[in-house]
Structure 1
Amino acid sequence: MPKIRKIGKWLLYLLGFFLAVLAGLFIYLYFVSRVDPPAIADRSIEKTERSNPSKDFYFLGNNWFRKSRSGLYELYVEGGAFERGVINGKLTRELVQRQEDHFSEQIEKMIPSTFYRHFLKYFIGWFNRDLPANVKEEYRKEIYGVSMAASGKYGYIGTPYQRILNYHAAHDIGHALQSMALVGCTSFGTWDAHSKDSAFIIGRNFDFYVGDKFAEDKIVAFIKPDSGYGFMTVTWGGFTGAVSGMNEKGLTVTINAAKTDLPPGSATPVSLVAREILQYAANIEQAITIARSRTMFVSESFLVGSAADNKAVVVEKTPEALDVYDPRQNYIVCANHFQSKALGALPSNQQQVRESASEYRYQRVMELLDQAPVNTVQQTISILRDTKGLKGADIGLGNEKAINQLIAHHSIVFEPKKRLVWVSTAPWQVGQYVCYDLNKVFSLKGMRADREIMDSSLVVAPDSLLYTPAFRQFELFRSFKQRILDGGMADPDSIVASNPNYYHAYALAGDMAGKSGNKAAAIKFYRQALTKEIATLNERTAIEEKLKRLQE
């Protein structure tokens, strides 16, 4: 008995030591993850209030915010960094808070465990421990200003400033953690003889998906800072970075994720590098200089178009290196793999080409450009809306190998020389594209009464797909998929009937048949899935492994 008590005592000591180490670790993570806001000399802007003369329209000084008939929100903000941030937050307060609600809701769906979500909070805090040091003071002040509009109900995650700052690195962290299964964006440009009347045209799909609700409240923001150039970008509440935009000099930037390794810690978020280029670069050389000056913790391609240079290049950047892909022709295409001589040869990039959907989408854009040797804005939008595979094959709606995967947060087209930009409206790229003239918007000098600012004469009509039975069936497929993601069941035959040429419909049907105990049906559906155009090697392998287990 004394021996047992002695062993029990040692076990208690061991447990106590383990708990002490664990508590110490959490205390360490807590203090390491603390982020202090930047010092602000003049805080008088905090005392101002927005005016609300009519429904969905607000103004504060020369700054304004409204909801367009198109469904897009529109924002104009000017001034210094902290001033811009505070005014942005005051005008868009409801969207800042709603966007965080949607983001948090999606995280809860992805990570149901409260314990793991709290652990993730500390992990991200530790991972982003050097984030403030890698963000320009100007942008830290602007983010701090916006964060004052954030909700008070997420204090358990961090302070408003800490949360909004960390959200600017969400794209990078998600990109790094999901490097093996990138959802891909597509962009391209044409100029000189490849465009009608030698127009310079750039188009892109931003396929960043964090749930349907996250994409509901898109903001077309026009920013006139007290330093640098005025610019526009498509954004969302609380986000001051840039993923797609054009400045008043006719310089455009769009970002495309590339294959990356898991980094040891954070650096400058990709969106803030793109934002700096938009604000301070007037040509390609200046854009490259800015990109080179920043250290990033993921690999990314920046498609940079320049009215001054009358062409576009892809600035390819990893945490260690930078290279530039210049096609030296009158068109350019960018998917999710590098094309420059140095970075294109990286083993990780070659793996991306072999195993992802990137090369397939790239080839489909090239195929469509060959079919449209004299490009127009309308033709650019048609390419961005394309849901087919190579040679026009029906690969199912929603396939990652399609240029239009029907998940885009937004799709956008630029004519840099004319300072014109077209932005898609819901759903995805299927709704109409509305046009804005940067010269006209920046010449408004404030707005005290609500009115439309888009150019109604240049609106591009919705895609005819919107009115087809196939689209209605796709919406049904998405409802089946969401039901399954939420832990429910769906009839296997109904899933397949809703999207009969999409491999994922058969994979889901196989999952449902397997859960119902119908082994023979599950085998049949998985075999059918393998006859379809599967987006990535990982997905093909996953289906093959499920089939193998059932056949053993």
Structure 2
Amino acid sequence: MHRIVKKTLQYTGFLFLSLIVLLIAGISYLYFSADMQTPKHEQSMTTDKVIDIDSLHLRYYGDNFLRHSDSGLWELFVKGDAFQRGEAIGQLSSDLLHYQEKVFVDQIREIVPSDSYLKFLRFFIVLFNRNLGENVLEEYRDEIYGISLSCTHEYDFIGTPYERQLNYHSAHDLGHAMQDYMLVGCSSFATWGTQSADSSLLIGRNFDFYVGDAFAENKQVAFYVPEQGYRFASVGWPGMIGVLSGMNETGLTVTINAAKSAVPTGSATPISILTREILQYAATIDEAFAIAQKRETFVSESILIGSAKDGKTAIIEKSPEKTVLFTGKEANRLICTNHYQSEEFSKDERNMENIRTSDSPYRFARLTELI
């Protein structure tokens, strides 16, 4: 009997050890096979240099410029192909990129002060975002890579400059996934026709994404003249190529509001990259919806689309599982906070919980009163 018990324990121990080895091997494979699809561009040999005119708070790089306006906003103008745009952004704003990254990492250090935990966080991010590169269009990877050439190596313990800049574009989505902790709570509205004083299309929003006062210090309005697609403007911060709020030359507007999401288990297309594609390549609500249907995201979002061509707005309700176009329940107006409104999501458990437990319906009701 003693011999049988001993052999059973030995077999159990061997099996347990084998499972641990397999688990470590599997995780190691996932970690070391992670591919952010780093572009192969070399820094251009252009003779352009940054011309800094201090008296005008103005910087030039070729046909591109960055200006600090009297309003306190940075105004960026870039043109060319994706890599050229990214390289120009990096050359014009290297100091701002360093500042933005520093305050972001400092904020993380306040939450996670231990270096060992930070290393674990890097390990986790590599695993989580191991397929992020394949979910971002080559055009936007090229632009991010161009920017990364001017980024500091001070934070290489997190990843290469390109890997870090690409990962930062998914940070907004992770903030949305943390909505239960009140990190995100945006509101927006649109009126037109009989609901607008002069019947024109009126759209307003607030953007609630807080990473500290220092991070919000350098707000930027970026004006893009891409080689492909429409010219557009968007509001964000230095280094952010995704779109949180923007408008293109056809009069199409894009704003985003978080919705209730399950904790994601892996990356897909960051919401701000999806909305960048919409703003750059869509002129109508139908075109915007078609782009949204093509992309898989890893968090849930309401995307308010305004269209001068259509003379109205609609909300694209996007989740990892489905994409729905909501055109409203009342004529000539839409209100959007942080819950879904369409019939297709009316029985969705996460959406129902969000309506029960968050302040989203209260903000919705307050906007209804004000309008």
Q: Which amino acid aligns with 1:195?
A: S
* Alignment partner, residue 406 of structure 1: none
For residue 152 of structure 1, report the CA deviation from its aligned partner.
1.1
Q: Distance in 2 between matches of 1:132 and 1:367?
A: 44
Trace 1:374-389 onto structure 2 (pairs within 5 A): none
Contact 1:32–1:126 (Cα < 8 Å) also in 2: no
1:168 match: 169
Specify the alignment match of 2:114 in structure 1.
113
Shift of 1:117: 1.5
Change (3 A) 1:340 1:239: same
When residues 243 and 45 of structure 1 are mapped into structure 2, their CA distance, relative to the original with a 3 A threshold, is farther
Q: Which residue of 2 aligns with 1:357?
A: 359
1:82 aligns with 2:83: yes
Look up the match of 1:333: 335
Change beyond 3 A, Cα 1:340–1:20: closer
Q: Which amino acid is the alignment partner of residue 50 of structure 2?
A: R
The Cα shift of 1:118 comes to: 1.2
Contact 1:99 1:214 in 2 (8 A): yes
User: Residue 293 of structure 1: CA displacement?
Assistant: 0.6
Asked if 1:228 corresponds to 2:229, the answer is yes
Q: Which amino acid aligns with 2:352?
A: Q
**Over aligned residues, Cα RMSD in angstroms?**
2.3
Look up the equivalent residue of 1:93 and give its one-letter code. Answer: S
Aligned counterparts, 1:468-483, within 5 A: none
Unpaired segments ≥5 residues, structure 1: 1-9, 370-552
1:39-73 residue CA offsets vs partner (Å, 9 max, x unmatched)? 33x75366632111334310112211010111111
1:322 aligned residue = 323
- Which residue number corresponds to residue 68 of structure 1? 69
Would the aligned equivalents of 2:260 and 2:351 in 1 still touch at CA under 8 Å? yes
Report the secondary structure of 1:77's partner residue: strand
Partner of 2:277: 276
Query: CA separation of 1:36/1:285 partners in 2, compared to 1, >3 Å: closer, same or farther?
Result: closer
Distance 2:289 2:177 in 1: 23
Among all aligned residue pairs of Structure 1 and Structure 2, give the percentage whose two residues are the same amino acid.
48
Note the C-alpha offset of 1:130: 0.7
**SS in structure 2 at match of 1:223:** strand
Contact 2:36/2:134 (<8 A) preserved: no
How far, CA to CA, are the matches of 2:263 and 2:355 in structure 1?
Answer: 19
One-letter amino acid of the structure 2 residue matched with residue 44 of structure 1 = S
Query: Which residue is equivalent to 2:104?
Result: 103
> CA separation in 1, counterparts of 2:158 and 2:33?
14
Q: When the two structures are superposed, what TM-score results if normalisation uses the length of structure 1?
A: 0.61
> TM-score under structure 2 normalisation?
0.90
Higher relative contact order (CA 8 A, sep 6+): 2
Q: 1-side partners of 2:88 and 2:155: how far apart?
A: 22
Q: Is the 8 A contact 2:183 2:209 kept in 1?
A: no
* 2:54 alignment counterpart: 54
Q: Highest CA radius of gyration, 1 or 2? A: 1
Unaligned 5+ residue runs, structure 2? Answer: 1-9
The one-letter code of the counterpart of 1:319 is: P
Q: Could you tell me which amino acid in structure 1 is paired with residue 126 of structure 2? A: G
Q: Quick one: structure 1 residues 188 and 66, their matched pair in 2 at CA, closer, same or farther if it must change by over 3 Å?
A: same
Q: How many residues align?
A: 356
Q: 1:95 offset after TM fit, Å?
A: 0.9
8 Å contact 2:188–2:203 — kept in the other structure? yes
For the 8 Å contact 1:32–1:125, the answer to whether it is kept is: no
Contact 1:33 1:122 (C-alpha < 8 Å) held by counterparts: no
SS in 1 for 2:52: strand
Cα deviation, 1:410-432, whole Å, max 9, x if unaligned, reads: xxxxxxxxxxxxxxxxxxxxxxx
In structure 2, the CA distance between the partners of 1:318 and 1:19, relative to structure 1 (3 Å rule), is closer
Query: Structure 2 counterpart of 1:329, which letter?
Result: A
> Structure 2 CA distance, aligned partners of 1:165 and 1:308?
33
Amino acid in structure 2 at the alignment position of 1:261: A
1:507-551 Cα deviation digits (max 9, x unpaired): xxxxxxxxxxxxxxxxxxxxxxxxxxxxxxxxxxxxxxxxxxxxx
